[in-house]
Amino acid sequence: MRRAPVDEVASYLQRAKVLIAARNVVVMNSQKNRALLAALEIRYQHQLEILLALTPRNYCETLAALEGSDEDEEAWVFGVKEGRRLRN
C-beta of residue 44 within 8 angstroms of C-beta of residue 29: no
Q: Is residue 37 part of a domain?
A: yes
Q: Is residue 30 part of a domain?
A: yes
pTM of this structure: 0.75
Q: Is residue 74 part of a domain?
A: yes
Q: Is residue 65 part of a domain?
A: yes
Q: Is residue 83 part of a domain?
A: no
Q: What is the pLDDT of residues 38-77, one digit of tens each?
A: 898 888 888 889 899 999 999 999 888 666 666 678 888 9
Distance CA 84, CA 86 (A): 7
Distance CA 45, CA 47 (A): 5
CB atoms within 10 A of CB 52: 12
Q: Is residue 36 part of a domain?
A: yes
| pLDDT at residue 21 is higher than 70 | yes
Distance CA 50, CA 83 (A): 13
Q: Is residue 88 part of a domain?
A: no
Confidence of residue 28 (pLDDT cuts 50, 70, 90): confident
Domain that holds residue 50: 6-78
